[in-house]
Amino acid sequence: MKIGIKTNLYDLAGYGRWGKNLYKKMRIHGYSSLIYDMANDKTPLYTSSVKEMEKLLFEEKKLFENSGIEISQVHGPWRAPIRDSLPEERSERMEQMKKSIYAATVLECKNWVIHPLMPFGLHDIGKDEENFTWDINLAFMQELLTFAKEHSVVICLENMPFTEFSLSKPEKILQFVKLINDNNFKICLDTGHVCAFKDLSVGDEVRKLGKEISALHIHDNQVENDLHLMPYLGIIDWKDFASSLKDIKYKGNFDLETMPSKSLPDSIFEDESKKLVKTAEEIIRNI
């Protein structure tokens, strides 16, 4: 199982501190795959034209390939503060998402991860808006799915850490995915986001989602927070998590959505990065 981590050339405080050598550094540390992060819609990947974006991506693709790194998933745009309320905002978001899906195609990446739309913010459970949240997401994702299928990309909808939002829990994401009912619409299970719900176990949720899981975001957490901690620094039972991946016969990559503190000096950052790979290897040993 290949071990990956999330970054890109524009993450200047993280692995991006090494510029165009970042992927070589990652390979030296022990990583062999990558979540290519396109969450920030302020980078040149979004602000440039499609042709300019293609050029940027082809140049970066050479860096991946020359370093022996594969792209296991592309993370689509995530805007903070959330702007999904108005039709024109959702239209703008649709264009960003389609551009990101096209980027995945350029990078020859199958899995494309995205968060649900949040048209009424993070608190809609038990309110009249809850049904509208689902209706808006259903119409939006069906249109997006048509585009994704044209480009042979699988949309992976991610579970969220927001306890009062109706499309957060893994079981709700599974319900939504079954509603879409298409092989190009699957799930990205985020381990840390599960921890926001006191009644949930990561291993149990993996077993419930089963074959619908096409991608993973792996990190540890504390209850009701989203700290993106390294494994074993939070509350997750990693032995049971490994057992659950074995139970569902998961064949994808082991992709981490955590990293050493960006404030660390280079040498210490590298040491911690290598330790993170060893930690992942220890978990994988139980699969």
Read off the tokens for 77. 């745009």
Q: How far apart are CA 48 and CA 40, in angstroms?
A: 13
Task: Check residue 2 and give its pLDDT.
Answer: 97
Domains and CATH numbers, the chain: 3-284 (3.20.20.150)
* Reported pTM: 0.97
Q: What is the average pLDDT value for the chain, to the nearest integer? A: 97
45-66: pLDDT as tens digits = 999 999 999 999 999 999 999 9
Give the pair of three-digit tokens for residue 119: 């048209």
Torsion of the alpha carbons at 67, 7, 209 and 197, rounded to the nearest 10:
150
The token pair at 71 is 């792209």
Task: Write out pLDDT tens, residues 126-166.
Answer: 999 999 999 999 999 999 999 999 999 999 999 999 999 99
Q: Which residue bears the tokens 């899981």?
A: 213
| Confidence at residue 36, expressed as pLDDT on a 0 to 100 scale | 98
For the stretch 182-223, pLDDT in tens is 999 999 999 999 999 999 999 999 999 999 999 999 999 988
pLDDT for 225? 77
pLDDT of residue 258 exceeding 80, the answer is yes
Predicted confidence band of residue 171 (pLDDT cuts 50, 70, 90): very high
pLDDT at 88 over 80: yes
Statement: residue 244 has pLDDT above 90: yes
pLDDT band at 31 (very low <50, low <70, confident <90, very high): very high
Query: By the 8 A CB rule, do 171 and 207 touch?
Result: no
What local confidence, expressed as pLDDT, does residue 80 receive?
86
pLDDT of 224 over the 90 cut = no
